[in-house]
Amino acid sequence: MNVEELLRDSLCELAAEQRPAGPGYADRVLAARRRRRNRRLASVVAATAAVVAVAVAVPLLDPGKETVRPAGVLDKGGVHAHPDQSPPRDVIAAGQAVLAAYYRAEVEPQTDKRAVSQRTYWLLDPKTGKYEKDSRWSFVAVAPGLKTAAVLERSLPAQRIGLLDLTTGEVERWIPVERGVGGLAFSYDGSRLVATTYDENPDLRIKQKLIDLNEKETWMWGTEFGESSRSGFYDLDVASGEGHWSPVAPDRSIGSRQDFEFSRAGDRVYSQVIGAGDGLQQFYRLDGAKAAAPANEKGLRSDVPARLSPNGSLAALGLTKEVNGKPGKSYSSIRDPRTGKEITKVRGAHLLAWADDRRLIAWERVTGLNETYRPQLVLVTIGSDKVVPLSGVREEPAKGVDWDTWEPVFARR
Amino acid sequence: MDAEAQDSFREFVENRSSALLKTAVLLTGGDRHAAEDLLQNALIKAAGHWYRIDEPEAYVRQILYRQQVSRWRLKWRRRELTVAEPPEPGANPDAASAAELRLLMRGALARLTARQRTVLVLRYFEDLPEADVARILGCSVGTVRSTTHRSLARLRTLAPELTALGPQAADARPQPSRDFSPVEVRP
């Protein structure tokens, strides 16, 4: 480690320790502004007798001459929509949620019977606001703040984790790992990384024969359910790269890739399990032992990525109602995370990320219920039936094309 | 500011004040109260132009950086922060763990000038290229480069344990304890 790296780590650590400004901060600022304006107005009134004095005081009514706006910096408060782009070329964002990357997977045969579903990522360049293809990585997790991504090289499982500076496109630091890693996820505050370890490439595909109702045989690349090589996870401190590995007992009710993610508080990890219902999840302590779900995450679904709202008071759940029409309308459930009771329904078929405590980014259909499901990214608001298109319509790849459709990766600003 | 603008301002502050406050704390070298003052001033200025601001966060950040540098220019005589525990120059570098080194680094950062710290925060926390830092602070790229170099050297002077780190150790040169060079600010 050199001085620059230590400096970077120290700044990140100091920043991460800061508690938020607290509720009502905006109102306190506005009140301070009103007081300041009143004082200045009073000074102007007092000086009306002297023209010169007025001439001096008036400019004070327009505080702040810093009108220079850096070019190419993202608008961090507003909505960036490109409803004509699928996959997107220019930044898509709403509130604190940014489409930080997307990927497409392609099946690459290795032998007659084995193949690997290889991902290729397009990463948001924060300077240009455009998505740029970066073929170096097989897995990318973007940290909150969109400055750093954790990356794995093409060959999985990987023996080192890269911390990629998204501004320069260069790896700032490598974290070597003894056990091969196949998946990564940041904690909610971005200070830690959970790295799921596998003995084999978790994206292996094997050739499988399907026999349809007409007894017609087709061959396709599929995963072998119940054959996951997942061995455990590393819990790593991003600043120092230090951490420990915890073994997790093999489980036959998981898919070949079943990555761990942190709970909101970061004191547990969870992953999806396949069982009686969709979106089931199993939590683990950080030493790898099975654990109960935290009280506020008990009712969540592992297949709905939005999970808890920023302030933790609402839980994003799954599709609950569909209304036919042109296009059809989907509604997902918003629940109290502690009681599991539905509070309301919000537009959207699949809730992906919270833009703020009232708005979410979701996939929503552009077709009727009797047509093929074709979605686009939209911004939905609790209490409103309005949807704001953010991306173009995602099309399924044509038959015979090995590329999957694009999958979004969201991060908080 | 009408009700609509106030709602939009509130929404922005609610969503972004935590991140902005983190930057402000870094700019003030860990002084939370000074950081809250700095951010409040910047937000008040932004509120005055809310209708005309296309990129509120970029705008507020720019005010934060420039305000901090200007403030230093006005108050340079009082700029050094008092820290409870000054760095211990005699400590054995081998014994210092990563956490201890980060603490030493914090102490040293708090003793830099506001301008030096602002340049380091922009370069190493915001990860901006030199050209962008120059544009934000209204100075030349050369000034950014030399300030960065001098600031890193000063960190090593303030916390000699840091000189044992990495390949840049050879750069460490004793620096004057205060940097009185003029600041180029064009608000």
In this prediction, residue A74 carries a pLDDT of: 43
By Cβ distance, the residue of A9, A64, A413 closest to B48 is: A64
Which A residues, 39 through 58, put their C-beta within 8 Å of a C-beta on chain B? none
Which of A5, A11, A354 should one mutate to test binding to chain B, selecting the residue with the greatest count of B CBs within 10 A? A11
Give how far A108 is from chain B: nearest CA, Å: 36
* Side chain identity, residue A389: P
CB contact under 8 A, A29 and B43: yes
In this prediction, residue A335 carries a pLDDT of: 95
Mean pLDDT estimate for chain B: 74
Residue B166's pLDDT band, with cuts at 50, 70 and 90, is low
Domain ranges within chain B, ordered by starting residue: 3-171
Is residue A198 within 8 A of residue A233, CB to CB? The reply is no
CB contact under 8 A, A16 and B22: yes
Which H, E and C letters describe chain B, residue by residue? CCHHHHHHHHHHHHHHHHHHHHHHHHHCCCCHHHHHHHHHHHHHHHHCCHHHCCCHHHHHHHHHHHHHHHHHHHHHHHCCCCCCCCCCCCCCHHHCCHHHHHHHHHHHHHCCCHHHHHHHHHHHHCCCCHHHHHHHHCCCHHHHHHHHHHHHHHHHHHCHHHHHCCHHHHHCCCCCCCCCCCCCCCC
Domain ranges within chain A, ordered by starting residue: 77-412
Q: Is the pLDDT of residue B70 over 80?
A: no
CB contact under 8 A, A70 and B62: yes
Q: Give SS3 for A318.
A: strand
Which A residues, 301 through 330, put their C-beta within 8 Å of a C-beta on chain B? none
CB contact under 8 A, A18 and B18: yes
Residue B93's pLDDT band, with cuts at 50, 70 and 90, is very low
Give how far B71 is from chain A: nearest CA, Å: 14
Which A residues, 144 through 163, put their C-beta within 8 Å of a C-beta on chain B? 145, 147
Helix axes A3-16, B141-158, angle to 10 degrees: 90
Complex confidence, ipTM: 0.77
pLDDT digits (tens, 9 = 90+) for B113-141: 888 999 999 999 988 888 888 888 878 88
Beta strands in A36-147 (DSSP E): 79-80, 93-94, 97-109, 114-125, 130-134, 137-142
Which of B9, B31, B44 should one mutate to test binding to chain A, selecting the residue with the greatest count of A CBs within 10 A? B44
Euclidean distance between CA atoms B98 and A409, whole angstroms: 32
Give how far B44 is from chain A: nearest CA, Å: 6
Is residue A300 within 8 A of residue A317, CB to CB? The reply is yes
Q: Give the CATH number of domain B3-171; options: 3.20.20.120, 1.10.10.10, 3.40.50.180, 3.40.50.1980.
A: 1.10.10.10
Residue found under tokens 């009727």: A368
Angstrom CA distances, A293 to A258, A309, A315, stand at 17, 17, 14
- The pair of structure tokens assigned to A361 is 């980014």
Residues of A in contact with B25 (CB under 8 A): 14-15, 18
Q: What is the C-alpha radius of gyration for chain A, rounded to an integer number of angstroms?
A: 25
Q: Which CATH architecture has domain A77-412?
A: 6 Propeller (2.120)
In this prediction, residue B96 carries a pLDDT of: 53
* Side chain identity, residue B10: R
Q: Which residue ranges of chain A lie beneath pLDDT 70? A: 37-77, 210-216, 225-226, 276, 399-402
Residues of A in contact with B162 (CB under 8 A): 3, 6
By Cβ distance, the residue of B8, B120, B135 closest to A7 is: B120
Q: What is the H or E stretch that residue A291 is in?
A: strand A290-291
Euclidean distance between CA atoms A243 and A255, whole angstroms: 26
By Cβ distance, the residue of A21, A30, A240 closest to B21 is: A21
Non-local CB neighbours of A339 within 8 Å, separated by 6+ positions: A299
Please count the other Cβ atoms lying within 10 Å of the Cβ belonging to residue A217: 8
In this prediction, residue A16 carries a pLDDT of: 87
In this prediction, residue B114 carries a pLDDT of: 85
Max CA pair span of chain B: 60
Euclidean distance between CA atoms A197 and A152, whole angstroms: 12
In this prediction, residue A215 carries a pLDDT of: 65
